[in-house]
Amino acid sequence: MNFNKIKDAEARHYMPVFVRDNIALDRGEGNFLFDTAGNKYLDFVAGIATNILGYNHPQLTEAVCAQVKKLMHVSNHYYTEVQSRYIKRLCEASGFSRVFLCNSGAEANECAIKLARKIFKNRGVYKKILSSEGAFHGRTLATLTVTDNANQHEQYAPLPVGFDTFKYNDFDDFRTKLTDDIGAVMIETIQGERGVRPFDNDFLVNAYVLCKSKGVLFIVDEVQTGMGRTGKLFSFEHFGIQPDIITAGKGIAGGIPMGACLATEEAGTAFAIGDHGSTFGGNALACAAADKVLEILTDGGLLKSSAAVGEYLGNALAHFSKYDFITDIRGMGLMRGFQLSEKIPAQTFETKLRERGFLVNVAGNNTVRLVPPLTITASEIDGFIAALDEICATTCVM
Ligand SMILES: Cc1ncc(COP(=O)(O)O)c(C=O)c1O
């Protein structure tokens, strides 16, 4: 099917919710994608921080194909060996002792919200959940409520009640908002959708300590920052804090849909039989993929090697501060972004980079986001940096 036919079918039949780039992707190999016209791109999008092993990774492909032939899905009414193997590996690697498996980041956060509410219920109290301005936690009604998007809040009103917000990175405001009716805080360490915007180390540590002193649950949304993206398995590990609940998604199964809500023994045993569930969550196919991804990250050493490559990318990007129109360079590990001045739409960089064979995407605050596969190499990064330098050198601000 040629590109115009593909585009035409989308225009006629898909609900009109996406802005799509004018290419149709056909196949991937390593850290590269190929479109239907045969163009090759080095991928700094990775399905938005999802394809952490790139494309057609031999071990992941083999594990998934073997599982497809054996057993793809059975009801959670039954045990499977592959799920049992995976949850053990995930708990051992993360330090949490309980997990619920689902199909997406939003579902993982929905589970975290329900778990927090069940904990309040078990304690015999009614409490609210506090989230940050600028947060993105998903698109279900509850996760949209903890997502900072006034336009969508208005469109989908009435939203669930029992939530409040604090000002991004403002500890005084956080302390004021952490009233006695708050029972849990939900936070990303780096706000990915808001343009790779990190919280300060001091803010996170102080917020955590205050929550602990008040018996408030600390929930970290690791959907984008997790699975090695920032150089640690989960980003909270950089801050010396121990959340009660974290959520994961995106890269967890290397591109097969999966989400996970992880909790300490105390928090994770608040649910009772029948309190939560999922048809597909943690099915055999997703678990086989996720188990292989985690094995490659940990035993295979990818977590360590990609952390070094992430530092390499960070150092290479730092040189771009010499350009006045690059107003900020942010991020950790292989989750980076550079913000452009208002006069230069980040989309122009997206287009120019694509024309040179690099896929990037634009996140909030006029920021070009870079979240490549964790398998990206230093020499591949060199090629990207050279192209970016060429674009910057010929960019003039009107
Ligand atoms: C931090 C964060 N939480 C939750 C989500 C929602 O994940 P999903 O799109 O898989 O529902 C996203 C997606 O971008 C995210 O970045």
pLDDT interval class at 389 (50, 70, 90): very high
138 CB near ligand 1 (under 6 Å): yes
- The vertex-142 CA angle with 78 and 77, nearest 5°, equals 5
State the distance from the centre of ligand 1 to the C-alpha of 106, rounded, in angstroms.
Answer: 6
Distance 37 CA to ligand 1 centre (A): 30
pLDDT in tens, 177-191: 999 999 999 999 999
The reported pLDDT for the residue numbered 247 is 99
Ligand 1 within 6 A of 54 CB?
Answer: no
CA–CA distances in Å: residue 204 to residues 201, 218, 298, 323: 5, 10, 26, 31
How far is ligand 1, taken at its centre, from the CA of residue 109, in Å? 9
Pocket test for ligand 1, best of 45, 137, 190, 252 (most atoms within 8 A of CB): 137
Ligand 1 atom closest to the Cα of residue 191 is 1
Cβ atoms 43, 359 nearer than 8 A: yes
Asked whether residue 127 carries a pLDDT value surpassing 70, the answer given is yes
The 3-class secondary structure across the chain, one letter per residue, is CCHHHHHHHHHHHCCCCCCCCCCCEEEEEECEEEECCCCEEEECCHHHHCCCCCECCHHHHHHHHHHHHHCCCCCCCCCCHHHHHHHHHHHHHHCCCEEEEECCHHHHHHHHHHHHHHHHHHHCCCCEEEEECCCCCCCCHHHHHCCCCHHHHHHCCCCCCCEEEECCCCHHHHHHHCCCCEEEEEECCEECCCCCEECCHHHHHHHHHHHHHHCCEEEEECCCCCCCCCCCCCHHHHHCCCCCEEEECHHHHECECCEEEEECHHHHCCCCCCCCCCCCCCCHHHHHHHHHHHHHHCCCCHHHHHHHHHHHHHHHHHHHHHCCCEEEEEEECCEEEEEECCCCCHHHHHHHHHHCCEECEEECCCEEEECCCCCCCHHHHHHHHHHHHHHHHCCCCC
The size of the chain, in residues, is: 398
Q: Give, using CA atoms, the residue closest to atom 7 of ligand 1.
A: 105
pTM above 0.95, yes or no: yes
CB count within 10 Å of CB 66 equals 11
Inform me whether the pLDDT recorded for 357 exceeds 60. yes
Query: Which of 107, 136, 149 should be mutated for ligand 1, with most atoms under 8 A from CB?
Result: 136
Query: What spacing in Å lies between the alpha carbon of 339 and ligand 1's midpoint?
Result: 21
Q: Tell me the pLDDT tens digit for each residue of 128-154.
A: 999 999 999 999 999 999 999 999 999
Asked if pLDDT for residue 22 goes beyond 90, the answer is yes
Q: Is the CB of 103 under 6 A from ligand 1?
A: no
Ligand 1 atom, smallest distance to 143 CA: 4
Residue 231: is its pLDDT beyond 70?
yes
- pLDDT of 396 reads 73
Mutation probe of ligand 1 site: the residue of 250, 252, 369 with most atoms within 8 A of C-beta = 250
Q: Identify the residue whose tokens are 């579902």.
A: 107
Confidence at residue 1, expressed as pLDDT on a 0 to 100 scale: 84
Is it the case that residue 397 has pLDDT exceeding 80? no
24-65 pLDDT per residue, tens: 999 999 999 999 999 999 999 999 999 999 999 999 999 999
Domain spans of the chain? 3-56+302-393, 71-297
User: What average pLDDT does the chain have?
Assistant: 97
Ligand 1 centroid distance, CA of 147 (Å): 10
How sure is the predictor about 215, in pLDDT bands with cuts at 50, 70 and 90?
very high
- The CATH class of the 3-56+302-393 domain is alpha beta
Residue 398, pLDDT > 90, answer: no
How close is the Cα of 2 to the center of ligand 1, in Å?
Answer: 31
Each as own residue / partner, the long-range contacts of residues 235-244 (CB below 8 Å, 24 or more positions apart, any chain) are 235/189, 235/190, 235/332, 236/189, 238/189, 238/201, 238/332, 239/189, 239/201, 239/204, 239/205, 239/208, 240/205, 241/204, 241/205, 241/208, 242/95, 243/208, 243/218, 243/219, 244/217, 244/218, 244/219
Is the minimum distance from the CB of 191 to ligand 1 under 6 angstroms? Answer: no
358 has a pLDDT exceeding 90: yes
For 71-297, the fitting CATH number among 3.20.20.140, 3.40.50.880, 3.30.360.10, 3.40.640.10 is 3.40.640.10
Cα(18)–Cα(10) distance, rounded to whole angstroms?
10
In DSSP terms, 335 is beta-bridged to 332
How large a percentage of the chain has pLDDT more than 90? 98
Return the ∠ at Cα 95 (arms to 89 and 97), rounded to 5°: 75
Mean pLDDT of 304-309: 98
Going from the Cα of 194 to the center of ligand 1, the distance in angstroms, rounded, reads 12
Residues 55-80: what's their mean pLDDT? 98
- Ligand 1 atom with the smallest distance to the CA of 188 is 1
Instruction: State the distance from the centre of ligand 1 to the C-alpha of 248, rounded, in angstroms.
Output: 9
Q: Which atom of ligand 1 is nearest to the CA of 222?
A: 1
Query: Is residue 192 in contact with ligand 1, taking CB distance under 6 Å?
Result: yes
Q: How far is the CA of 137 from the centre of ligand 1 (A)?
A: 6
Identify the burial level of 276 via C-beta atoms within 10 angstroms of its C-beta, where 0-12 means exposed, 13-18 middle and 19 or more buried.
middle
